[in-house]
């Protein structure tokens, strides 16, 4: 692929294109699903492709192809040049060369040595450990294993060129627990960079424990009380909220934080970072997808909005410094603003201490509809399940309730941040205590 990238750059130079960049991906992966001790599905896939951007007289053209032959690349270049002719003139900056490193290996050297038998065995072990966790675990709906290796190649007309390879592995499970007439769902997900770091025991125990803990749950009376968002739930919430920090949404006034840079938007106890140097984060990388060196930066620090996450184009439009957040959804997509790893900084209190902090508290362990949070107004209404505590002791599991409000109220109401943490892909969060929210039930 390096040779193909260089060939594409050579063609573009000969054509006298004012500016260009060439982005390429090659990758492979395997997924395994098991159920009732049997393999349900095995899928292996591979992909490769090249994307070309050209800038001619201030006009941007884009094209991509999965045909990585010399002829396929020539056709993509011609298509990009033709597309540039019909676009509006604008300023399209390209990245310049820089040295950057994440400080740890991004690729598992054992990737090719892990046979499909080991992958199947790990998925089967996950299912078996979940079944044996508690006799009330009624059935495992799906236990899955997945892996992938991706190599990124980049070169542009500013002589900025690099390549790097990443690997990832994951386990996930969805199960049901039953006791009498009560049935509850439990799930968990784990992603790691190295195969040997996967822990099926931990994933099984979390999923099964969550389901069993909610058996017998029913709605409680509507109340306004302290709420703890369990780490996995708050990670989902931050992922849904991430769109409000992205430069293109700020530019279009589609973010509730659009005019709040430098202002307090959350409690002083709350810190949020975009950090490409997290070993367990699937978004860790030395460069973004348009060649800018990545760096750790505060999004919210001690409650103050410090940075928007911008690509090269948006940074110029907003008159901000580039942050290394130009991301592509795939080979067929233009770069736009995205996250590397969003990380909520951990606090000092363990989960048990966090629960004991208020006299009463509802711990939310599962939520539905988090993706419906409005990134412009901040309004939300989500279905929740969890456990009600009084003076640090479990009282009863609850379900069939909703919590509603505004993200501004939620972030400003954070009083404590836990010391625990949970990764969901490229978002990591501890459990978080909010002073008061309205929860609706009976």
Q: What pLDDT score does 241 carry?
A: 94
Q: What pLDDT score does 138 carry?
A: 92
Report pTM. Answer: 0.94
Q: What pLDDT score does 16 carry?
A: 87
Report the percentage of the chain scoring pLDDT > 90. Answer: 93
> What is the rounded distance in angstroms from the CA atom of residue 415 to the CA atom of residue 226?
10
| pLDDT beyond 80 at 442 | no
Tens digit of each residue's pLDDT (9 = 90 or more) over 169-227 = 999 999 999 999 999 999 999 999 999 999 999 999 999 999 999 999 999 999 999 99
| pLDDT beyond 80 at 377 | yes
H or E, element range at 128: helix 116-133
What single string gives the DSSP state of each residue in 61-108?
Answer: EEEEES--SHHHHHHHHHHHHHHHHTSPP-------------SS--S-
At residue 4 the predicted structure's pLDDT band, cuts being 50, 70 and 90, is confident
At residue 122 the predicted structure's pLDDT band, cuts being 50, 70 and 90, is very high
Q: What pLDDT score does 434 carry?
A: 97
Q: What pLDDT score does 3 carry?
A: 81
> What is the rounded distance in angstroms from the CA atom of residue 296 to the CA atom of residue 191?
21
Average pLDDT over residues 70-89: 94
Evaluate whether 382 touches 240 at the Cβ level (below 8 Å).
Answer: no
> What is the rounded distance in angstroms from the CA atom of residue 34 to the CA atom of residue 14?
53
| pLDDT beyond 90 at 128 | yes
Q: Which of 280, 118, 133, 141 is nearest to 204 (CA)?
A: 133
CATH code 3.30.2290.10 for 2-212: yes
As beta bridge partners, residue 385 has: 366
Q: How do the domains of the chain map onto residue ranges?
A: 2-212, 217-442
Average pLDDT, the chain: 95
Tens digit of each residue's pLDDT (9 = 90 or more) over 263-304 = 999 999 999 999 999 999 999 999 999 999 999 999 999 999
| pLDDT beyond 90 at 26 | yes
Query: Which residue bears the tokens 């625990």?
Result: 420
């Amino acid at each position: 692929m390096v040779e193909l990238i260089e060939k594409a750059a050579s063609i573009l130079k000969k054509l006298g294109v004012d500016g260009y960049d060439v982005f390429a991906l090659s990758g492979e992966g395997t997924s395994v699903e098991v159920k009732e001790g049997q393999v349900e599905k095995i899928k292996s896939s591979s992909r490769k492709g090249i994307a070309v951007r050209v800038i001619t007289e201030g006009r941007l053209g884009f094209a991509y192809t999965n045909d990585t032959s010399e002829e396929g690349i020539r056709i993509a270049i011609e298509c990009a040049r033709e597309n540039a002719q019909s676009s509006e003139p604008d300023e399209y900056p390209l990245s310049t060369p820089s040295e950057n490193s994440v400080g740890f290996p991004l690729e598992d050297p054992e990737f090719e040595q892990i046979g499909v038998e080991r992958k199947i065995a790990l998925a089967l072990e996950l299912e078996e450990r979940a079944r044996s966790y508690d006799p009330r675990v009624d059935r495992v709906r799906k236990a899955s294993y997945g892996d992938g290796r991706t190599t990124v190649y980049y070169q542009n007309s500013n002589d900025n060129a690099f390549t790097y390879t990443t690997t990832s592995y994951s386990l996930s499970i969805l199960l049901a627990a039953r006791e009498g007439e009560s049935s509850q769902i439990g799930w968990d997900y784990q992603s790691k960079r190295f195969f040997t770091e996967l822990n099926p025991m931990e994933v099984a125990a979390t999923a099964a424990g969550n389901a069993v803990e909610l058996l017998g749950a029913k709605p409680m009376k509507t109340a306004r009380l302290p709420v703890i968002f369990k780490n996995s739930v708050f990670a989902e919430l931050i992922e849904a909220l991430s769109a409000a920090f992205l430069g293109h949404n700020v530019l279009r006034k589609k973010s509730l934080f659009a005019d709040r840079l430098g202002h307090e938007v959350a409690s002083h106890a709350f810190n949020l970072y975009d950090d490409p140097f997290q070993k367990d984060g699937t978004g860790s990388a030395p460069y973004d997808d348009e060649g800018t060196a990545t760096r750790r930066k505060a999004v919210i620090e001690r409650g103050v909005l410090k940075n928007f996450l911008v690509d090269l184009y948006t940074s110029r439009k907003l008159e901000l410094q580039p942050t290394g957040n130009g991301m592509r959804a795939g080979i067929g997509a233009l770069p736009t603003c995205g996250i590397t790893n969003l990380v909520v900084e951990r606090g000092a209190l363990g989960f048990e201490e966090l629960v004991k902090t208020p006299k009463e508290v509802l711990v939310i362990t599962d939520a539905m509809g988090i993706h419906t949070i409005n990134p412009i107004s901040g309004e939300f209404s989500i279905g929740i399940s969890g456990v009600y505590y009084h003076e640090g002791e479990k009282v009863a599991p609850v379900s069939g309730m909703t919590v509603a409000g505004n993200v501004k109220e939620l972030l400003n109401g954070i009083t404590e941040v836990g010391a625990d943490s949970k990764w969901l892909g490229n978002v990591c969060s501890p459990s978080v205590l909010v002073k008061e929210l309205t929860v609706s039930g009976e």
